Chains A and B, each alone.
Chain A
Amino acid sequence: MTMKSILSTVDPEITERLVANRREFFRSSALKLGAMASAPLVLAMASQQAFGQELPQEIVDVLTFALTLEHIEDAFYRSGLEADGLIPDEYVGIFNQIGKHEAAHVAFLSTALGSAAIDRPALDLTAGGKYADALENFDTYLTLSQTFEDLGVAAYKGQAGNLISNDDILQAALQIHSVEARHAAIVRKIGGKKSWDGAFDEPMTKEEVLAAATPFLA
Chain B
Amino acid sequence: MENSPLESVRSSDATINKKAKWKNRQRVLVFAARGINHRDRHLMRDLKTLMPHHRSESKMERTKTLSVVNEMCEMKHCNKALLFEGRRKKDLYMWAACAPSGPSVKFLVENAHTMGELKMAGNCLRGSRPLLSFDMQFKKIPHLNLIKEILTQTLGVPNHHPKSQPFFDHVYTFTYLDDRIWFRNFQILSEDGGLSEIGPRFVLNPIKIFEESFTGKCLWQNSSYVSPTRQRQEIKKAMKDRYVNRMEQKVLKESNPVKNAYKFNENDDIFETSDAIKKAKEYADNSISKQDKQRKERKNQMKQKLKKKKAK
Are A and B bound to each other?
A: no
